[in-house]
């Protein structure tokens, strides 16, 4: 069930060319921009790879990507259920990468729920992201926020979430996929 590094490269280079919802970038552009922001910020290689792969679930379950696409166009019907894309990739990545890569992928939606308890963050979300927040359980309660912050790699997950939110810029230059495939190989088990 585990993906090889070649499988991941082919997913990013092939299906990754699809548009990222109605954002101005492809899934691959989004992944590369997210990884580049993490790298520019001086994150560890594990966190950079987590940033690259945080939405891999969308490429493994095309239906969930379509759902996001439908959700992203204002005025169109919004999906009625959470796509749970943060969990889809995990069975395929267990045994391939260490917890420092897997945890921020698993937690990037919980990180959004946590950040929505912080002043001003909710206002920065797109209409689709505000809608999906409701399906994802809404902002954390105090107990949920406390439990989240006890998770290993909670801080890294919050930072990946910030890079995720910023990684939607049309025509932004990034290092090529090959640069990040080398980083994947460096941290692979
Ligand atoms: Fe993302």
Query: How confident is the model over 111-120, as pLDDT tens digits?
Result: 999 999 998 9
> Whole-angstrom Cα distance, residue 149 to residue 144?
9
Quote the ligand 1 centre to 100 CA distance (angstroms): 17
Quote the ligand 1 centre to 187 CA distance (angstroms): 21
> pLDDT band at 78, cuts 50/70/90?
low
* Average pLDDT in the chain: 89
Quote the ligand 1 centre to 91 CA distance (angstroms): 19
Quote the ligand 1 centre to 46 CA distance (angstroms): 17
CATH superfamily of 5-187: Hypothetical protein af1432 (1.10.3210.10)
Tell me, what's the pLDDT at 84? 85
Domain ranges across the chain: 5-187
Quote the ligand 1 centre to 189 CA distance (angstroms): 24
Percent of the chain with pLDDT over 90: 72
* Mean pLDDT score, 35-62: 95
Q: Is the pLDDT of residue 179 over 80?
A: yes
**Per-position DSSP letters for the chain, written without gaps between them:** -PPPHHHHHHHHHTGGGSB-TTSSSBHHHHHHHHHHHHHHTT--HHHHHHHHHTTHHHHH-HHHHHHHHHHHSTTSPPPSS---HHHHTHHHHBTTB-HHHHHHHHHHHHHHHHHTTSTTTGGGS-HHHHHHHHHTTSSPPHHHHHHHHTSTTHHHHHHHHHHHHH---TT-----HHHHHHHHHHH--
Per-residue pLDDT of 93-112, as tens digits, reads: 999 999 999 999 999 999 99
Quote the ligand 1 centre to 30 CA distance (angstroms): 7
* Mean pLDDT score, 137-159: 97
> Whole-angstrom Cα distance, residue 169 to residue 33?
8
Per-residue pLDDT of 2-40, as tens digits, reads: 999 999 999 999 999 888 876 788 999 999 999 999 999
Quote the ligand 1 centre to 87 CA distance (angstroms): 13
**Contact (Cβ atoms closer than 8 angstroms) between residue 46 and residue 38:** no
Q: Within 10 A of 110 (CB to CB), how many other CB atoms are there?
A: 22
């Amino acid at each position: 069930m585990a993906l090889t590094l070649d499988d991941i490269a082919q997913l990013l280079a092939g299906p990754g060319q699809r548009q990222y919802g109605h954002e101005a970038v492809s899934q691959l552009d989004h992944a590369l921009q997210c990884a580049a922001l993490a790298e520019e910020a001086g994150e560890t290689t594990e966190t950079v790879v987590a940033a690259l792969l945080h939405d891999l679930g969308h490429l493994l379950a095309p239906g969930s990507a379509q759902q996001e696409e439908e959700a992203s166009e204002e005025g169109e019907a919004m999906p009625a259920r959470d796509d749970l894309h943060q969990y889809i990739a995990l069975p395929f990545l267990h045994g391939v990468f260490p917890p420092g890569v897997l945890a921020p992928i698993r937690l990037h939606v919980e990180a959004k729920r946590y950040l929505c308890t912080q002043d001003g963050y909710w206002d920065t979300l797109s209409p689709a992201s505000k809608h999906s927040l409701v399906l994802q359980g809404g902002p954390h309660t105090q107990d949920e926020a406390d439990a989240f912050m006890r998770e290993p790699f909670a801080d890294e997950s919050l930072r990946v979430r910030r890079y995720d939110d910023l990684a939607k810029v049309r025509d932004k230059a990034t290092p090529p996929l090959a640069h990040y495939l080398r980083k994947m190989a460096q941290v692979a088990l």
